[in-house]
Amino acid sequence: MITKEDIENLAKLSRIEISPEETENLRSEIDSMLGYVGKIKEIGGEDFSTLPALRNVMREDVVTNKAGEYTEEILSIAPQREGNFLKVKKILE
């Protein structure tokens, strides 16, 4: 159980000023939070030590084609182009 003195000490360490009413409110709120945490600790949890080790399942990022190999093919099917770039409508001012 947290005491009024504990709350005042925490306020002093935090460099905040709290009124006696706030001290009492905080005491009861922190008490209920600690009680909730205590219930969670009682319930326990799963033993996570048996989980499989994590590993990377992604492939290496390797270039598989020559630079510019598909550029002309892609640009030829675009509605508009400007040099080696796709031309699109302006959407931002």
Predicted pLDDT of residue 39 = 85
Q: What percent of the chain has pLDDT over 70?
A: 95
Predicted pLDDT of residue 9 = 93
Q: What percent of the chain has pLDDT over 90?
A: 38
Spell out the domain ranges in the chain.
4-46
User: What pLDDT digit, counting tens, does each position of 70-85 carry?
Assistant: 989 999 999 999 988 8
Q: What is the CA radius of gyration of the chain?
A: 32
Predicted pLDDT of residue 8 = 92
pLDDT for 46 beyond 70? no
Separation between Cα atoms, residue 56 and residue 44, nearest integer Å: 30
**3-state secondary structure at position 81:** strand
Residue environment code for 61-80, b if the CB has 16+ CB neighbours within 10 A, otherwise e: eeeeeeeeeeeeeeeeeeee
CATH topology of domain 4-46: Histone, subunit A (1.10.20)
Instruction: Note the pTM of the prediction, 2 decimals.
Output: 0.42
